[in-house]
Amino acid sequence: MRRFLAVITVGLVAAALVGTQAVTAGAGGGKKTPGVTDTEIRVGGYASPPNDTLNVAYPEGFEGVEAYFELINKQGGVHGRKLKLVAKASDQGQASTGAITVRNLVEEKNVFAVLPIMTNSFTLGGKYLSDNDVPGFGINVEPAWCATADEHAVIERALIENQEIQECPRDTLFGEKGSFLCFECPGVAPSYIAMQEGFTKVAVFGYTHISSAKCVNGVTAGFEKYGIEVAHANQALEFGFSVTEIAADIQAMKDAGVQFVATCMEFNGGFKISEGLRQAGVNDVVFYAPEGYRQSTLDKAGDALEGWIFRLGFAPWHGKDLPKGTKQFLKAMKKRGIEPSEHSQAGWINAALFVAGLEAAGPDVTRESLVEAINSITDFTADGMLPPIGWQPGGGGHGAGYEACDVYEQVRDGEFVTIYGQPGQPFVCFPLTPALPDELTPYFRPLKAGETPPTLVPEAAVG
């Protein structure tokens, strides 16, 4: 998940941003479109190194992109052009290096677009791409996909305090789950789980990192909205903490009779807290995990994960009614001998949106026409992998949406089992106005024939 953004020295920042106006112009004005030939469209991406402590493997995003490109190229490409990933760079987990890497991809490698972008150090890279109108596609885990930190804070406060939806200004950047995250908005998923399971006393944990700390505030606000007691909370942990460092938290939860723990952490952080509880003789607390859905997680943790509930923003990877996109993704990963992961799937989804934009833009594609085409898409699902994302103004792709949809997977007897959804409709959804509803009465996606969602979308947002 999210980890602390690297400290950036003034010198490196200056070096990273020198010459940001030297990008080759698009096809307009008689100049050739960068990265586009009669037979190819060339893109390049970058990733942070894998981090075992945080249970993240950002470079796996490259596998997803290459697999999707292979699928499309076997079908003849897009408008007669094959798609090629010509660079797989690294930002070394630092925002300053990321800015230099992005500039090199655009100005030296001459790529048409930057994808995938697999990092949580996107602050300067996002600024460069936005300033130069270069399309970027990647995994969205931080505000830079939407705006500067200050701009994002204004958008977030307007949503929380006034229920006012404002669009992200960086409309050339496309995250796999949309480009806006409201870190401090009241959380619906943990609250819904607690209400479904009858939990009345809960705990919330997060890190000192701003995104995680804000998430704790949002999850806490969600619990409080629905009358669920937050018996203990801690948003002051550091990445890589040990079980001994949370001894006081463990005792406090034991004394309070906590039944459910929600974390704003990667899987390993939550698992350490569960270890502490087990060591204290508490074995019946259910954990909510926003990250970590993969078979190797179950294989590694064994019986210790029994009862855990994982939240997904995408269709699950098991069952009989898998959507077309999920089937294709899983088949491609199996062919490559790779375990599916949220990072490889994010790369696949990025590539699918890129291709959808290319197809809509037509054969004479430019960066500008690609962005315009994507920002006219009203219901992108990556062939059923996602609940619908509207990239048009007001559609939720570049701002807050009018529904919250999640899949819930519980570990039972060593396997993931979809809960709360309906057969063939795994997504549990709630209408937003954009505030959370007073009562959590769900509807389910994908919709069946004749069904309509009870979302309150203004007319201007669907045009």
In a domain, 322, yes or no: no
pLDDT above 70 (res 215): yes
User: Is the pLDDT at 5 greater than 80, yes or no?
Assistant: no
292/199 same-domain check: yes
> Does a structural domain hold residue 289?
yes
Judged against a pLDDT cut of 80, whether residue 218 lies above it is answered with yes
Cis peptide upstream of residue 434 (ω within 30 degrees of 0): yes
Give residue 457's pLDDT.
54
Averaged pLDDT for residues 369-386? 98
C-alpha 173, offset from chain centre: 13
Residue 135 falls within a domain, yes or no? yes
In angstroms, rounded to a whole number, what is the distance separating the alpha carbons of residues 394 and 82?
Answer: 33
Dump pLDDT digits (tens) for 22-80. 333 334 344 689 999 999 999 999 999 987 666 678 999 999 999 999 999 999 999 99
Domain identity same for 116 and 173: yes
Total number of domains constituting the chain? 2
**Residue of 218, 214, 201 whose CA lies nearest to 259:** 201
Domain assignment present for 294: yes
pLDDT at 228 over 90: yes
Q: How far is CA 61 from CA 81, 272, 370, in A?
A: 22, 27, 22
My answer on whether 103 and 173 are in the same domain is: yes
Count of other CB atoms within 10 angstroms of residue 335: 10
Last residue of a domain, one of 326, 355, 374: 374
List the domain range (segments joined by +) for residue 192: 186-312+406-463
pLDDT-wise least confident of 149-153, 349-353, 422-426, 454-458: 454-458
CATH number of the domain that residue 131 is part of: 3.40.50.2300
As a whole number, the mean pLDDT across the chain is 90
Average pLDDT over residues 156-181: 96
Same domain, 242 and 156: no
pLDDT for 180 beyond 80: yes
Tell me, yes or no, whether 5 lies in a domain: no
Sheet holding 113-118, edge to edge: 82-90, 40-47, 113-118, 136-138, 173-175
Residues 443 and 304 occupy one common structural domain: yes
* 159 and 207 housed in the same domain: no
At 404-434, the pLDDT tens digits run 999 999 999 999 999 999 999 999 999 988 8
d(CA 124, CA 122): 6
Q: Of the candidates 374, 394, 417, which is a domain's last residue?
A: 374
Question: Which structure tokens are listed for 172?
Answer: 């050339």
Strands (E), 151-253: 173-175, 201-207, 229-237
Spell out the residues 6+ positions from residue 8 whose beta carbon is closer than 8 angstroms to its own.
94, 95, 96, 124
pLDDT in tens, 8-30: 222 322 233 333 333 333 343 44
431 and 357, same structural domain?
Answer: no
Output 10-18 pairs: Cβ under 8 A, ≥24 positions apart: 12/96, 12/97, 13/96, 13/99, 13/124, 15/96, 15/100, 16/96, 16/99, 16/100, 16/103, 16/124, 16/128, 17/99, 17/124, 17/127, 17/128
Number of residues that this document lists for the chain: 463
In this structure, the answer to whether residues 204 and 300 fall within a common structural domain is: yes
Confidence of residue 461 (pLDDT cuts 50, 70, 90): very low
26 and 147 within one domain: yes
Displacement of CA 444 from its chain's centroid (Å): 21
Please check whether residue 335 lies inside any domain of the structure. Answer: no
* Measured distance between the N- and C-terminal CA atoms of the chain, rounded to whole angstroms: 34
Contact 120, 104 (CB under 8 A): no
At residue 449, the pLDDT reads 86
Based on the domain organization, do 149 and 47 belong to the same domain?
A: yes
The answer on 193 and 52 residing in a single domain is no
pLDDT at 6 over 50: no
pLDDT band for 456, please (50, 70, 90 cuts): low
Question: Is there a single domain that holds both residue 126 and residue 227?
Answer: no
Does residue 324 form part of some domain? Answer: no
Q: What is the mean pLDDT of residues 343-351?
A: 98
Count the Cβ atoms, other than its own, within 10 Å of residue 30: 6
Query: What is the reported pLDDT for 319?
Result: 87
Sign for the CA dihedral angle at 228, 234, 240, 242 comes to: negative
Average pLDDT over residues 149-158: 96
Structural domain contains residue 389: no
Q: Is the pLDDT of residue 304 over 90?
A: yes
